[in-house]
Structure 1
């Protein structure tokens, strides 16, 4: 009997040990699953932040202590529905036009928790500051930036777009918009939060226009007695989900700003609300966004109506509908070309966005793009075929400056574009 009891005790001890090992195994599996999810989310965020620049370029920037110096030079070929000139034009019949596009200098500073970025760009006939801020990294999840920095609005730094042309949000100042102020970012396990206050837009620099020599689109005071952006507030929240192989970033963006009158008209204001989502499955990315915005302006402004607002960038002013809905969608696929020594990856994409204007006398403005981005070391090349019935950079027969406003011609035009970028 004593021998049986000893065997039973041994079995019970083994069973107890087995249960403990099973519990440890389940705990370890849960921890590994959580770590893998966090890794996938981290990789998704990293890809999103770097996708519009060469993600595989070597870190060969010149270093001066804590300061890195780099830049880029880009050239552009364009051909499309443009008037014939008999010279170097972009017309199909003239064979298109190849010209220097951009030269830029980048400074990146990092010294412990202290950060800073500066970017200045030169184009043909005008130049401007793109970025200029100093920051502090509290820890891996919290950061603050003060200066000219990117406004937190939309699913990522470039909205839903992967293309060289962006989507229509950009031309409304609602993606990749730079303004002067302070921005605070905080990440948790499942959320990214951004809160920002901007005292003004990024300013105008050297060019032929009065206030439009700048990188991103803002309300501009071209007449001297129009409106200027002041006291803008932004809030963005993005929730991260993981369902098997599908990662989802579901978010919202809010924006409100004052429009300071420099003439006899009353002050105005502007607000925008947006819902957006990124879905990632393997190498596919589906980005969707729906935005409503309104500029509340006085009909006594220099434009003579409260249905339009004056905006500008790249040294060209234009008019924009004061109120509209803006849906946008983009589907892309990243293919890593490990079998090709001369190419790192190619990313084909298809995009569509449309400005649905609330003024019934205005025609809507759509933009559709099919293209691909090609990365090879320091080279990053865009090849895009775009069609639009209301974008200032697609086609040349319609009157410039009205296409996001009344868009009276409502004429579909096309442009094929190749942008060659070398980053150093």
Structure 2
């Protein structure tokens, strides 16, 4: 069956989890040598799903593959990441994630150019699950665009300034413009205006405190701002995005709590759809509310057992609180546990959503939503091999 709003996808790679699966990448050369060092890594993923809103996919199937290349020589570093997904057949949707070069003046002082994550929110991922919070699909979290970023540390404070010319483009899939990893404004065949986001200016500042002498208790607080131009190609007018986020992370090993909140404001100059804009990702198009407050709360606890086994239970709440009076909020809860043994991981996640285009919803669930909508449930069992 072709990909639909009832099909689950997994964009993230659990960047908030403080350990990684014990798999060594394939490495050639050395960063100190003239030819430098090349590392090849990635993962293969399969899954079984059970949905309250569909009888499909109650069987084990291949889900996705990731290939990552990292090149280092002296202070230069290059990164490349590409993902392949299976909806009906192998790699019927695939997309570039990252392709960039950086120069490191020091470990936290760098200049990076190319397709890369935008500095918005606490990190690439604001939560510790595999499915991702609802803000991933709304184009606020885990967004990778084409641009340049400068990162500069001042003591325990880190400052980042970035300019992005536009998004990273569309790749292999069946949609007109939505065959992409990140959720961006896209060109569609709907009645919505054809929109393009460009000239994105972002900044992020965060400060870390070590609250005990052993540095087991750490607090990180910060904020980020996003200003960009929204080009309406249907009427040749220009709007803008003004978005901000505040965040805090409390890390008391092995416990980590991450809180993020902010406001998204898009002016699209669409004379008909003034309250929503068409976004696209993972080869599908859907409308997202232009204005609203957003929240993510994530709790992670990680511990090691004998024989190289590590276990990480976690919980995530994410929500878009829409500003228009006739809209219903979109909410996603995720409860999960990850078990790691060497290069193998087993992950179980239970997802409860309401007005969620990716979990039992429709094209307009992220826009006006439905006040009478019920919660949809999804259980997903993931098998991961990392190399």
Match of 2:131 in 1: 165
Q: What is residue 77 of structure 2 aligned with on the other side? A: 115
Kindly indicate which of the two structures has a greater share of residues assigned to helix.
1
What is the rounded CA distance, in whole Å, between the counterparts of 2:308 and 2:109 in structure 1? 38
* Residue 296 (structure 2) pairs with residue 333 (structure 1): no
1:53 and 1:380 in contact (8 A); partners too: no
**Which position in structure 1 is the counterpart of 2:47?**
76
CA drift at 1:109? 0.3
User: Alignment partner of 1:405: what SS?
Assistant: coil
In the TM superposition, what are the counterparts of 1:260-271 in structure 2 within 5 Å?
A: 260-264=231-235, 266-271=237-242
Residues 1:405 and 2:370 aligned together: no
Equivalent residue in structure 2 for 1:152, among 119, 123, 131? 119
Q: Which residue of 2 aligns with 1:6?
A: none
SS of equivalent to 1:169: helix
Task: Give 1:53 shift.
Answer: 9.1
Equivalent of 2:93 in 126, 136, 139:
126
1:351 equivalent to 2:316? Answer: yes
Q: Which residue in the other structure is 1:320 paired with? A: 288
Q: 1:135 aligns with which of 94, 102, 116?
A: 102
Aligned to 1:63: 28
Q: State the Cα distance separating 1:54 from its structure 2 match.
A: 6.3
Mapped pair 1:98 → 2:60: yes
Give 1:217 shift.
0.6
Superposed CA deviations along residues 66-86 of structure 1, whole A, max 9, x for unmatched, are 2122222111211111334xx
CA shift, 1:62, in A, is 4.2
CA separation in 1, counterparts of 2:347 and 2:38?
29
Deviation, structure 1 residue 134: 0.9
The one-character-per-residue Cα deviations of 1:311-338 (angstroms, maximum 9, x if unpaired) are: 110000110011000122111111111x
2:266 is aligned with 1:295 = yes
Q: How far off is 1:97 after superposition?
A: 3.5
Structure label with greater radius of gyration: 1
Checking the alignment, whether the CA contact within 8 Å between 1:177 and 1:216 is kept in structure 2 is yes
Equivalent residue number for residue 230 of structure 1? 198
Report which structure shows greater RCO (CA 8 Å, sep ≥6).
2
Moved more, 238-247 or 120-129: 238-247
Q: Unaligned regions of 5+ residues in structure 2, if any?
A: 1-12, 30-35, 87-91
Cα RMSD after superposing both structures: 1.9
**Residue deviations 1:296-353, cap 9 Å, x none?**
01233xxx3110111110000110011000122111111111x2x152x111111111
In the TM superposition, what is the alpha-carbon distance from 1:98 to its structure 2 partner? 2.5
Which structure's residues are more often strand, by fraction?
A: 2
Q: Give the number of aligned pairs.
A: 358
TM-score scaled by structure 1?
Answer: 0.80
Change (3 A) 1:269 1:223: farther
* Distance 1:226-1:53 versus aligned 2 partners, 3 A rule: farther
User: Which residue matches 2:7?
Assistant: none
TM-score using structure 2 length? 0.88
In structure 2, what is the equivalent of residue 273 of structure 1?
A: 244
C-alpha separation between the residues in 2 aligned to 1:356 and 1:156? 22
Instruction: Report the Cα distance in structure 1 between the residues aligned to 2:176 and 2:357, rounded to whole angstroms.
Output: 19
C-alpha distance in 2, partners of 1:52/1:281?
13
SS at match of 2:20: coil
Change over 3 Å in CA distance of 1:391–1:54 after alignment to 2: farther
What is the aligned partner in structure 2 of residue 32 from structure 1?
A: none
Once the 2 structures are TM-superposed, how far is the Cα of residue 391 of structure 1 from its aligned partner? 1.9
100-109 or 259-268, larger mean C-alpha shift: 259-268
